[in-house]
Amino acid sequence: MEFSEVIERRLTTLNYTNKKVSNENMNKIIESAIIAPSAKNRQPWRFYLLTDKQKNDIADKMENWINHTGLVTTVKRSANVIRQVGNCVLIYSDKWDSNHVDKIKSPQKLLNGEDIENMVIMHDYYFDRIKADTLSVGAAVEHMILKATELGIDTTWLCDVLFIGDMINEYLGLKDKELICGVAFGYRNQNPIKKGRYKKEYLIIGEENGRQKFCR
């Protein structure tokens, strides 16, 4: 299958059979993620392959989640996807929190704003590094999804798990990892709807000559 065809065929699936993806194909999917590009080659991604029980327990937690946000969410719809699908993987990165100040020289001076030189280091650790690592994880996830598409496996990129991220981490016993998203892997029981996309004229910004060059 040509790469352009893989990109075109990838669609978000919301209704699955419970057919399992073979271990061979799941291995291929994980291996495709491992070779994704990452900032400074940090390879921040970590993968948690849920068992059937874990998958169903997390779906229960999502269905029972009480929404105090005031926002309209698709948490319960995602719970149904997780329950239906054959395989579900949670994607993590190492957690970046205040404990990492200990790795920086004179942390108390840094926190008090006295050590201007190391303020740059803190900015890199707490902001730029988090952005870069999150982008790296996103690249790994796309590798997984496109590899699955090539193998004839349907996927759903799941971000609704973040609404109960702390509950999931407690349930799985993970204290030093940051939940980034989940991905469902399986086989559709009805065709997904292809959603519209913005036109290039809306998406390309900047100088007029650049827009004229590509928005034709």
CB atoms closer than 10 angstroms to residue 51: 9
Task: For residue 81, give every residue at least 6 positions away whose Cβ sits within 8 Å of its Cβ, in sequence order, or none.
Answer: 13, 14, 16, 156, 158, 184
Determine the structural domain holding residue 16 and report its residue range. 3-97+130-214
Total residues found in the chain within this entry: 216
Q: Residue 157's pLDDT is what? A: 98
Residue 76 clears pLDDT 80, i.e. is over it: yes
Residue 102 clears pLDDT 70, i.e. is over it: no
* Model pLDDT for residues 131-150, shown as the tens digit of each residue: 888 999 999 999 999 999 99
Q: Is residue 107 situated within a structural domain?
A: no
Out of 67-71, 94-98, 100-104, 204-208, pick the least confident.
Answer: 100-104
| Burial (CB count <10 Å: 0-12, 13-18, 19+), residue 214 | exposed
Among 44, 68, 83, smallest CA distance to 164 is for: 68
Q: How far apart are CA 173 and CA 60, in angstroms?
A: 17
Q: Is residue 21 situated within a structural domain?
A: yes
| Mean pLDDT on 106-128 | 61
CATH number for the domain that contains residue 93:
3.40.109.10
Residue 121 clears pLDDT 80, i.e. is over it: no
Q: How far apart are CA 41 and CA 54, in angstroms?
A: 31
Residue 210 clears pLDDT 70, i.e. is over it: no
Q: Is residue 90 situated within a structural domain?
A: yes
Q: Is residue 124 situated within a structural domain?
A: no
Q: Is residue 24 situated within a structural domain?
A: yes
Q: Residue 63's pLDDT is what? A: 97
* Domains identified in the chain, total number: 1
Q: Is residue 123 situated within a structural domain?
A: no
Q: Residue 167's pLDDT is what? A: 97
Q: Is residue 145 situated within a structural domain?
A: yes
Out of 11-25, 59-73, 103-117, pick the least confident.
Answer: 103-117
Q: Is residue 125 situated within a structural domain?
A: no
Percent of the chain at pLDDT above 70?
A: 82
* Model pLDDT for residues 150-204, shown as the tens digit of each residue: 999 999 999 999 999 999 999 999 988 999 999 999 999 989 988 999 998 888 8
